[in-house]
A and B are shown apart, each in its own frame.
Chain A
Amino acid sequence: MSGAPGVAVGVGYRRALDRWLGDHLHHFDVIEITVDHCLSGNAVSAAIYDLVGRVPLTAHGIGLSIGTDAPLDLAYLDRVATVIDRLGAPHYSEHLAFTRVPGRDLANLLPLPKTEATAVMVIDKVRQVQSCLSVPFLLENIAYLFDWPDSTFSEAEFFGLICGETGAGMLLDIANLHANAGNHRFDAYEFLDALPAAIVKQVHIAGGIVIEGDFPVQPLLADSHSHPVPEAAFELLDYALARCAPASVILERDERLDATAEILDDMARIRAHLACPIEKHPDTEAIAGSTS
């Protein structure tokens, strides 16, 4: 079903989509599973494991908080490793962010100060994660509303440093990049140019909303995963695909899940963009050549 050879196209599993997904698996090359939903052995995990063997699955996490400056929760990581093995996932992705400190969990992804000291801390954590897993580890860029005052690296440099030191890949979230560029007034294309092309192993894409209101950022681009992917995000996808060779492009959808026609339409649009002849960046040709 893929629009471009070697690039799988899929969607993130959500409980509310379960029955619909089961009936429409033929539309997807891959389904992304949030591993945290498999940890409690509940109804959701049973439905997810029912997909094993029916469609390729990838593993994504939301609960690691790798950026918290405290020891990693190794028990959590052990459980995640078990889930990954059971899913047969080819890699595991998490966010380059923090969500909690001991005793308090915002349950929302927060940025890290992009400094050398933070990079050293995260690099150590990434190596621990890698030592616990049997599959490659990917780090995802988040959507953020504020930045730390002491950041010294750009986000692209920060990813390049951490991924370069550890061999971890990057999960490039196009929607987050699009929202950040709009909210913080930077050039998303320059961000993509500054990324080492070889680090991008997977892509997320989604549609958010624009919120007008009494915000310090106006208008606010919210990464709500609620609407069709905007054309501007597809233009960024095209640009990224000319520079990197991801294994898969995953559509994220968390709201208005009853609008399944929009999901299928987005899938078709992703495939159409993958099928478009893209003038490859010279570095990408080299990557594709080295991995084929």
Chain B
Amino acid sequence: MLARQAELLEYLTSSPAIFGDNPARLRPPDGFDRRLLDLEARLSHNKRLAKIRSVFARTFEILGTDAEALVREFTDAHPPTAIDTLENARQFCHFLSAHWVRELPAPRHLPDVARCELAMAEVGAAGRPSRGSPPKFAPQQWAECSIRRAPGVKLLRCSYAIRSIFERQSTATVPQLRDTPLAIVMLGGSDRPQVFEVSGFVFELLAALDDFAHSSTLGVTSGLARLLGELAEHELIEVCP
């Protein structure tokens, strides 16, 4: 029976069944009512697409009418392999990345927006790891503690200053072309991830802090102590006294 189940799923995830394109390309399995299978295929595809759209709301808004052709191409190339929203979103993001290697994205900042939306979804799904309040250290105490990047923080280096798109809830803005290091984090008391633009130095520092490192290795100055305090306050680093 597995072969028949596989044949049925191949049909239900195909473009001819979902979009009614070129029905001669793929015949439904013998004995089934094609109209009912096509209805099942469309409704299942709509559910999958709703999951993907829920992650890439701004990407789809910017794509506008171009989205339809992309979705068809995606559907053909990437049948669903998981029920999970994030898995489908990752699949779509990989598809977009590969597509934009072949064809330049329009507008050019679209890949940054898509990657940022995926990162936000991943951070949101992971939630906020339970952690206490950031310590109120005197400057000299910052030289005697261990720190690491807070679990759940995602770092993303963008080519365009796309944060404005997420801040203003508007995709009409054309962001400036400039190196834009972002840190995405779920803050306490918030039900959605926050996107912070950080300096290149902070980005590199956070990227290097996969594991706890003693702050003395950083050569803590009063300026760096202040910075670490701010990073802790924004829940971007975790501190172990």
**CB within 8 Å of A: which of B105-146?**
124-128, 130
CB–CB B44/A146 < 8 A: no
Closest residue of A by beta carbon distance from B152 = A43
Closest residue of B by beta carbon distance from A184 = B36
CA A214 to CA B12, docked complex, whole Å: 19
A-side contacts of B44, CB under 8 Å: 106-108
B-side contacts of A102, CB under 8 Å: 6
CB–CB A43/B128 < 8 A: yes
CA A96 to CA B8, docked complex, whole Å: 17
Q: Does B40 contact A (CB under 8 A)?
A: yes
Closest residue of A by beta carbon distance from B37 = A146
Q: Does A181 contact B (CB under 8 A)?
A: no
CB–CB B126/A104 < 8 A: no
Q: Smallest Cβ distance from B52 to chain A, in angstroms?
A: 12
Provided the pairs A42-B126, A99-B83, A118-B1 are in contact, do residues A215 and B10 lie with their beta carbons within 8 angstroms?
A: no
CA A264 to CA B130, docked complex, whole Å: 32
Stretch of A61-69, A81-89, A163-171 lying at the B interface:
A61-69
Closest residue of B by beta carbon distance from A18 = B191
Q: Smallest Cβ distance from B71 to chain A, in angstroms?
A: 16
CB–CB B127/A101 < 8 A: no
Task: Enumerate 29 A-B pairs (CB-CB under 8 Å) in ascending A order.
Answer: A42-B126, A43-B125, A43-B127, A44-B125, A62-B83, A69-B2, A69-B5, A101-B6, A101-B9, A103-B81, A104-B10, A104-B79, A104-B81, A105-B82, A106-B44, A107-B80, A108-B43, A110-B8, A110-B9, A110-B12, A121-B1, A145-B39, A145-B43, A149-B32, A150-B31, A215-B39, A216-B33, A216-B35, A216-B39
Q: Does A46 contact B (CB under 8 A)?
A: yes
CB–CB B1/A42 < 8 A: no
CB–CB A217/B127 < 8 A: no
CA A128 to CA B147, docked complex, whole Å: 47
Q: CB-defined interface of A137-152 with B at 8 Å, one 1/0 digit per residue?
A: 0000000011011100
CB–CB B31/A149 < 8 A: yes
CB–CB A108/B40 < 8 A: yes
Chain B interface (Cβ within 8 Å of chain A)?
1-2, 5-6, 8-10, 12-13, 30-33, 35-37, 39-40, 43-44, 47-48, 79-83, 124-128, 130, 186
CA A113 to CA B124, docked complex, whole Å: 40
Q: Smallest Cβ distance from B185 to chain A, in angstroms?
A: 13
CB–CB A216/B36 < 8 A: yes
Per a CB cutoff under 8 Å, which of B1, B80, B83, B127 touches A44?
B127
Closest residue of A by beta carbon distance from B123 = A43
* Closest 9 pairs between A and B when the two form their complex, measured CB to CB: A43-B127, A149-B31, A216-B35, A146-B36, A107-B83, A69-B2, A69-B1, A108-B44, A101-B6
CA A118 to CA B99, docked complex, whole Å: 42
Instruction: Please give 15 more A-B residue pairs, beta carbons under 8 A apart, in addition to A110-B12, A113-B1, A216-B39.
Output: A42-B126, A42-B127, A43-B124, A43-B125, A46-B127, A69-B5, A98-B5, A106-B44, A107-B83, A110-B40, A145-B39, A148-B31, A149-B31, A150-B31, A217-B39
CA A107 to CA B5, docked complex, whole Å: 14
B-side contacts of A105, CB under 8 Å: 80-83
Q: Does A259 contact B (CB under 8 A)?
A: no
**CB within 8 Å of B: which of A114-130?**
117-118, 121
